[in-house]
Chain A
Amino acid sequence: MKEHHLILRVVTKSLVGTIILFAFYVQFHGDFSPGGGFQAGVIMAVAFILYGIVFGLHEVQRVLPAWVVHKLVALGVLVYAGTGIWNMFLGYEFLHYGSFTPDHMSHGQHSGILYVEAGVGITVTGVMVAIYYAFAGRTPRLGNDDW
């Protein structure tokens, strides 16, 4: 695999950074434009999956080991639910984001949306990459003509 697909490898290397940047844009610009945690998570996962497809599972797992991905899957849900529980500690209902800034409710909404969208993004990234690892880890390496 090392000796061919030169164009694919060069293009991938320059694309991966852009894809990750775009994922962050979709994540944090979701308040103003289409997108949010779900889409950003998928795009972020695509960056790693693309790297894995072109360079091989071993290379991508040096950047993002499987045990980190498995922790991410749970971390996102914890961040989301934790935001809700934090709201309860502040004396309001579960997921009542206004409680972050009681004297200016819509500011609290902004931070609440930021936290839960981050949680969604982390879980979606984790799940997509984890499923890809699970599939790719079991696949015998195929040549170009096997398809």
Chain B
Amino acid sequence: MTETIVNFILFSMLVITAFAIVRQDRLFTVVMLASVFSLLTAMLFIALDAVDVAFTEAAVGAGISTVLMLGTIALTARGAKPASRPQTLPLLVVLVTGAGLVYGTLDMPNFGDPNAPASVHLSPHYLTNSIEEIDVPNVVTSILASYRGFDTLGETAVVFAAGIGVLMILSGLRHRRRKDEEEEEDA
């Protein structure tokens, strides 16, 4: 009962935050509200007993991305442009996509369903054997780093590639600009 109330409150605050984000046109406020949104999501993950995910969401979503978004605002513009065209078509697209997504979830097993495919085959193996095979109390760690070591190597490589990509885009521009200036000076 308590959990239902907590979930209800968190979800309503999430929706209110989302509407507040849409209504705002000062980007600084939008970024701060997005950080609040992430924090609320992290709390929802805690309510679902997924503390590791909540930890990541709070650190990355509410912490780092806020800083990076502020950095982006500082480089670009402080306010959103007022909409010039009527917003009916975008609204329609969003509503149809949302309805499609909700329709898609109808086929999914209920939350906590013991007969769900995911909790019939692999999960019981991990939960019963990980202490014997890995001997690490936190099963999330033993799945992430050992059973699923290949996936995590891939994830690390993705983080690496994303970082290198951002660096190349941002530093490449500076190089080009400097080269342009030099060419202008020559001419």
Interface size class of B (residues with CB under 8 A): 35 or more
Q: Is B13 an interface residue, CB under 8 A from the partner?
A: no
Neighbouring B residues of A130 by C-beta, 8 Å: 163, 166-167
Nearest CB in chain A to that of B163: its residue: A127
Within the complex, what minimum Cβ distance (angstroms) separates A113 from chain B? 4
Chain B interface main SS type: helix
Q: Is A142 an interface residue, CB under 8 A from the partner?
A: yes
Q: Is B75 an interface residue, CB under 8 A from the partner?
A: yes
Question: Are A95 and B67 touching (Cβ within 8 A)?
Answer: no
Q: Is A62 an interface residue, CB under 8 A from the partner?
A: no
Question: Are B138 and A112 touching (Cβ within 8 A)?
Answer: no
Question: Known: A46-B59, A95-B149, A138-B170. Is A113-B141 also a contact (CB below 8 A)?
Answer: yes
Question: Known: A106-B134, A113-B146. Is A135-B75 also a contact (CB below 8 A)?
Answer: yes
Q: Is B97 an interface residue, CB under 8 A from the partner?
A: no
Question: Are A109 and B133 touching (Cβ within 8 A)?
Answer: yes
Question: Known: A36-B141, A42-B60, A95-B149. Is A127-B159 also a contact (CB below 8 A)?
Answer: yes
CA distance A73 to B166 in the complex (A): 12
Neighbouring B residues of A37 by C-beta, 8 Å: 145
Question: Are A136 and B71 touching (Cβ within 8 A)?
Answer: yes
Chain A interface main SS type: helix
Question: Are A142 and B52 touching (Cβ within 8 A)?
Answer: no
Question: Are A138 and B174 touching (Cβ within 8 A)?
Answer: yes
Nearest CB in chain B to that of A129: its residue: B163
Neighbouring B residues of A30 by C-beta, 8 Å: 138, 141
Question: Are B160 and A76 touching (Cβ within 8 A)?
Answer: yes
Question: Are A135 and B145 touching (Cβ within 8 A)?
Answer: no
Question: Are B146 and A42 touching (Cβ within 8 A)?
Answer: no
Question: Are B136 and A109 touching (Cβ within 8 A)?
Answer: yes
Q: Which of B142, B149, B170 contacts A135 (CB 8 A)?
A: B170
Neighbouring A residues of B73 by C-beta, 8 Å: 147
Q: Is A80 an interface residue, CB under 8 A from the partner?
A: yes
Neighbouring B residues of A80 by C-beta, 8 Å: 152-153, 156
Neighbouring A residues of B166 by C-beta, 8 Å: 130-131, 134
Listed from nearest, the 5 A-B pairs whose CB atoms lie closest are A127-B163, A135-B71, A106-B135, A34-B51, A134-B170
Identify 28 residue pairs between A and B in the complex whose beta-carbon atoms are under 8 Å apart, listed by A's number: A26-B55, A30-B138, A32-B138, A33-B138, A34-B140, A35-B55, A39-B55, A39-B59, A42-B56, A49-B67, A77-B156, A84-B149, A84-B153, A95-B150, A109-B136, A112-B149, A113-B136, A113-B141, A123-B160, A124-B159, A127-B160, A131-B68, A135-B72, A139-B74, A139-B75, A142-B74, A146-B78, A147-B73
